[in-house]
Every structure is written in structure tokens, then in C-alpha cells.
């Protein structure tokens, strides 16, 4: 591993790109060698044309990463532009993320001793960041990286915010770009304000993710996750169902997942919890997880092939349909800009009339029983893996009135992933609710926002989402003069 005191050049020809070891919404990560030192590094190549943020913000994030100096936080050695890509040079974490590890080898989650070590190291990273005034804002298993010696590092400052910033950056904390399953309730409610305690909620969700192999609500589309996070009791480890986990682990998770942010513990307090006092050193509990596994790039390749095979199994639309669905998707996403208060008001109307508000994990089977798709017949491991890829691809951007990069976006931009159901909406009843003029605004198409999350397979998203009776579909259709309608679809007889 490279030392922080050594300098790395900004010359791309000094880096030899080897295998691809990861990919995110806007980046591809390569295993590489820094030729002058003959040292393994990771090169994260961010496609600037597909990024959510403007170049200045990306550069600021890269600068923050380069100032980081903590053994549990991934720092960047340097960053520079190559064609339309920003290359961020980082230490290579040879076992990749916890998410990839679980997808490849532990689909039902990890053992408690490994979870304890991973979470404790992650807490140390958060302690450092919070003490230096940073809210990470995207704590999740996909951003916890592991090295072969068991080392654990928190990565990805793509959406981090500084608590000490003023001006535009400070106001940007009214906005949030993140992954909905991990987002705290206060983050989903613009205007309430949030602080470093949002990371504690995400940390609690990450604990559940490591325990089960997937985050709570991960099988649902983002809109539903948003409603469930706001309306339902917080998720947690079940005293009966999760018998294999200790009482102190369950208590620790329950402390993090309190809806009232003022009642959540600080990192400092959490570190004193008995669960972390007992945690083993990672070289004892984490290192053994990779003992029998092939190298990271082989695992990543296998996961890519599996994802591609699952996609191919689904109905492939013709090229023409694809083009239409892509443009509809872009139009749909740009139109999904509205006030969360309006969404909640609409949701409460539905709740009164149709008695669906308290959506529990138990209820959902009953509620959506007529909408199981063909993938139910696949093995549970396959299904969980596809759930995980779904959660990877689901993001929400929630904002207040003052959005720095996307001038006119007001409210929430949501994107859903491919639905698991192929059922026809023809069997559904359609309900229309008029929304008061002026309260709900549709903003202009913001290329960064749409393209930032756009991948070819997501082009079919709008179409399949509309076809889905798996869940309530909320579609904001833009109307002139700021008047919008919300259409809700759900299965007849639900």
C-alpha cells in the first residue's frame, strides 16, 4: 500500500490500468499499477458528462479526499482530468466493498463477529469525519472497502457535505443526493434540517444490511421506500427472527434507528457501547472472510455476467420501444420534481381511503400477492442478488428551495429501477388527484440529474415501472402553469 507522504504524478501514462473492479452510477473503478513505484493503486474514472455535480464541486470533493488522513478513510493520492473523465487515484482495497463481498459469497449476510469489526472500523472513520466537520451522507455497505489483511476503510465522498461550509455549499444541505434505503427520515423531509446524526441512521441501516445481506425495504421502488421510512416504525433486528444475533447488537442497532435525530447517539457514544467494546480486531474476524474466494476482479466479472444474464431473461423491448421508453424515462424523471409535503399529503389521502399506509414487511406479501413475478421461482440467493442490484441503482435526490447545481429543481427527483413485475396496468384502476396550482412545480430537464443516473438498462425503467402492479406507482404528469396531477395506480382488489 502506498504511503500518504509519497507524491503521485498527474500523468495518465504513469498508470497502467488492469482489471475493472467496480462500477457505480457515474464511475468505473480499475485495479491499476502506478509504474514509477510499481505499486498497486485504484483508479476511479468519473465520467464528467454523466456526473450529478458540477466540475467545481467534484474538484472540491477530490480535494477533501486528498486531505483525509485516517487509516479507516480512503484518501485520494491525486486527481486529474483525462479526456472527459476525472481520474481519482486511491489506495487499492483488494477485496472491494462489503456489498460486493456479500453478493459474491454471503448473500444472507455476515457473521456477527465480522459485522462488529467492520462496523467499529467504520465508526472510527465517521468519528474522524464528524470531528473534522464532514457529514459523509452515503454510509452503506457498498462504500465500506476491505483489504486482504482485514483493513476496513470508508470511501466515496461523492455526496459528502461540510458542516462548516457557508454560502451555497451550506444551503446545499437542504438538498440530498443519496440512496433511499439508507436515508434518514429527516433527510427525506426538506425543511426539517439534518446534521451528522443522518450518518448514524445510515450506519444503523448498514448494520442491518451486513446482518441480512440487503438493506431493509431494498426490494421496493424508491418512492415507496421514502413513504415507508417516513411512515413506518424504524426497521431493526427482530428478537425472534434474528435469534443468531446478540442482545447487544440488537440494542446498538435500535439506538441508531431512532426517528428523532436528537435521540440518536453521537459516534463517540456509540463507540462506548458494549457491542463495540467486545468487537474483535479485523485481522481476526474480517480477514478470514476472503480465505477461499477468487480475486476481486474475477468475482466482479462473475457478478457482471450474472446481472447481464438476469437482464437478458427479462423481456427485451425492440430498439424502437427502447428509444421511446428512454425518452419517456428522461421526461418522467424531469417531471418528478415536487414538494415532499405534497407527496405526504397525497399519501395521507390514499391512506384514509384505501387503508394502505401502514405497510409492513409482513403486510407486503398479502398486499402485493397478486403481483409476484417470474423471478419468484428463482432461488432465494438469485432474488436477493437482484434485490441488491436494484438497491444499488435506486437513488433519490431530495431538495429544498435552494439547490446549488440544479437551479430550478424544487423538491424531489426520484428514479426507480427495473420493476420485478411484468404485469399489465390494464388490470389496475387509475386514480387521479389534482394538486393545487403553484404548490407543486415541475422543473426543467436537468441533464446532469438525468444523465447522472442513466445507464442503458435503466432506459426500460420507465416502461417497466409503468407496467408494474408490484407497487403503488406515483407519476407526476406536468401540466401548464405549474399545475400537476398525481396518478396513482394499484391493483384492483388490493
Ligand X SMILES: Nc1ncnc2c1ncn2[C@@H]1O[C@H](COP(=O)(O)OP(=O)(O)OP(=O)(O)O)[C@@H](O)[C@H]1O
Residue pair 161/61 in contact (Cβ under 8 Å)? The answer is no
Q: How far is the CB of 492 from ligand X (least distance, A)?
A: 37
Per rule CB under 6 A, is residue 42 in the interface with ligand X? yes
Reply yes or no on whether 387 is catalytic: no
DSSP per-residue codes, 439-467: TS------HHHHHHT--GGGGGHHHHHHH
Residue 319: how many CB atoms within 10 A of its CB? Answer: 8
Q: Which is nearer to ligand X, 40 or 422 (CB)?
A: 40
Q: Which stretch binds ligand X (CB under 6 A): 16-24, 110-118, 237-245, 430-438?
A: 16-24
Q: In what order do the strands lie in the sheet containing 412-414?
A: 176-178, 396-398, 412-414
Per rule CB under 6 A, is residue 107 in the interface with ligand X? no
Compute CA 279 distance to the chain's CA centroid, rounded to the nearest angstrom: 27
What is the rounded CA–CA span in Å between residue 101 and residue 110?
10
Per rule CB under 6 A, is residue 93 in the interface with ligand X? yes
Q: How far is the CB of 309 from ligand X (least distance, A)?
A: 20
Per rule CB under 6 A, is residue 44 in the interface with ligand X? yes
DSSP per-residue codes, 15-80: EEEEEEEEE-SSEEEEEEEEGGGTEEEEEEEEEGGG-SS-HHHHHHHHHHHHH---TTB---SEEE
Per rule CB under 6 A, is residue 34 in the interface with ligand X? no
C-alpha cell at 344: 405526504
| Near ligand X by CB under 6 A: residue from 15, 21, 249, 346 | 21
Per rule CB under 6 A, is residue 76 in the interface with ligand X? no
Measured at the alpha carbon of residue 474, what is the angle toward residues 207 and 446, in degrees to the nearest 5? 85
Site string (135-174) toward ligand X, x via CB under 6 A = -------xx-x---------xx-x----------------
Q: Which stretch binds ligand X (CB under 6 A): 23-31, 191-199, 277-285, 382-390?
A: 23-31
Q: Which stretch binds ligand X (CB under 6 A): 24-32, 257-265, 426-434, 483-491?
A: 24-32
Residue 488: how many CB atoms within 10 A of its CB? Answer: 19
Per rule CB under 6 A, is residue 53 in the interface with ligand X? no
Compute CA 61 distance to the chain's CA centroid, rounded to the nearest angstrom: 18
Residue pair 350/356 in contact (Cβ under 8 Å)? The answer is yes
Per DSSP, what are the bridge partners of residue 80? 87
Q: Annotated binding residue at 44?
A: yes
| Near ligand X by CB under 6 A: residue from 8, 15, 29, 270 | 29
Q: How far is the CB of 102 from ligand X (least distance, A)?
A: 11
Catalytic residue among 49, 69, 138, 352: 138
Q: Which residues bind ligand X (CB under 6 A)?
A: 21-27, 29, 42, 44, 74, 90-93, 96-97, 99-100, 142-143, 145, 155-156, 158
- Residues in the annotated binding site for ATP: 44
Catalytic residues: 138
Amino acid at each position: 500500500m502506498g504511503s500518504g507522504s509519497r507524491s503521485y504524478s498527474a500523468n495518465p501514462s504513469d498508470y497502467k490500468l488492469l482489471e475493472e473492479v467496480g462500477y457505480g452510477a457515474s464511475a468505473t473503478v480499475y485495479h491499476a499499477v502506478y509504474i514509477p513505484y510499481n505499486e498497486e493503486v485504484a483508479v476511479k474514472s468519473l465520467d464528467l458528462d454523466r456526473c450529478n455535480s458540477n466540475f467545481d464541486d467534484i474538484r472540491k470533493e477530490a480535494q477533501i479526499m486528498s486531505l483525509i488522513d485516517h487509516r479507516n478513510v480512503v484518501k485520494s493520492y491525486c486527481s486529474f482530468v483525462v479526456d472527459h473523465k476525472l481520474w481519482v487515484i486511491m489506495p487499492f482495497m483488494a477485496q472491494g466493498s462489503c456489498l460486493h463481498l456479500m453478493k459474491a459469497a454471503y448473500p444472507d449476510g455476515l457473521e456477527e463477529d465480522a459485522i462488529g469489526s467492520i462496523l467499529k472500523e467504520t465508526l472510527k472513520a465517521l468519528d474522524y469525519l464528524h470531528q473534522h466537520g464532514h457529514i459523509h451522507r452515503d454510509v452503506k455497505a457498498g462504500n465500506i472497502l476491505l483489504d486482504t489483511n482485514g483493513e476496513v476503510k470508508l470511501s466515496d465522498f461523492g455526496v459528502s457535505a461540510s458542516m462548516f461550509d457557508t454560502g451555497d455549499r451550506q444551503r446545499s444541505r437542504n438538498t440530498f443526493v443519496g440512496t433511499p434505503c439508507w436515508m434518514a427520515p429527516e433527510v427525506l423531509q426538506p425543511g426539517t434540517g439534518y446534521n451528522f446524526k443522518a450518518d448514524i441512521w445510515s450506519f444503523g441501516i448498514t448494520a442491518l444490511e451486513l446482518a441480512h445481506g440487503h438493506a431493509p425495504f431494498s426490494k421496493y421502488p424508491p418512492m415507496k421506500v421514502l413513504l415507508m421510512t417516513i411512515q413506518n416504525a424504524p426497521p431493526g433486528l427482530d428478537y425472534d427472527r434474528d435469534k443468531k444475533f446478540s442482545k447487544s447488537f440488537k440494542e446498538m442497532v435500535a439506538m441508531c434507528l431512532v426517528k428523532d435525530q436528537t435521540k440518536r447517539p453521537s459516534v463517540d457514544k456509540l463507540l462506548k457501547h458494549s457491542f463495540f467494546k467486545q468487537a474483535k480486531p479485523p485481522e481476526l474476524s474480517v480477514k478470514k472472510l476472503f480465505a477461499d474466494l477468487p480475486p476481486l476482479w474475477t468475482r466482479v466479472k462473475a457478478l457482471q455476467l450474472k446481472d447481464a444474464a438476469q437482464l437478458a431473461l427479462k423481456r427485451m423491448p425492440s430498439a424502437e420501444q427502447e428509444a421511446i421508453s428512454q425518452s419517456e424515462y428522461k421526461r418522467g424523471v424531469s417531471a418528478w420534481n415536487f414538494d415532499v409535503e405534497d407527496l405526504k399529503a397525497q399519501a395521507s389521502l390514499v391512506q384514509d381511503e384505501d387503508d394502505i399506509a401502514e405497510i409492513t414487511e409482513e403486510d407486503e406479501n398479502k398486499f402485493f400477492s397478486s403481483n409476484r413475478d417470474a423471478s419468484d421461482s428463482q432461488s432465494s440467493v438469485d432474488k436477493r442478488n437482484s434485490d441488491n442490484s436494484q438497491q444499488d441503482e435506486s437513488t433519490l435526490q431530495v431538495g429544498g428551495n435552494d439547490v446549488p447545481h440544479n437551479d430550478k429543481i424544487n423538491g424531489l427527483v426520484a428514479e426507480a429501477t427495473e420493476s420485478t413485475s411484468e404485469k399489465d396496468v390494464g388490470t389496475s384502476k387509475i386514480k387521479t388527484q389534482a394538486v393545487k396550482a403553484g404548490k407543486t412545480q415541475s422543473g426543467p430537464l436537468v441533464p446532469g440529474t438525468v444523465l447522472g443516473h442513466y445507464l442503458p438498462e435503466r432506459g426500460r425503467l420507465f416502461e417497466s415501472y409503468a407496467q408494474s402492479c408490484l407497487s403503488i406507482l406515483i407519476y407526476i404528469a406536468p401540466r401548464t402553469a405549474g399545475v400537476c396531477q398525481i396518478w396513482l395506480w394499484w391493483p384492483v382488489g388490493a
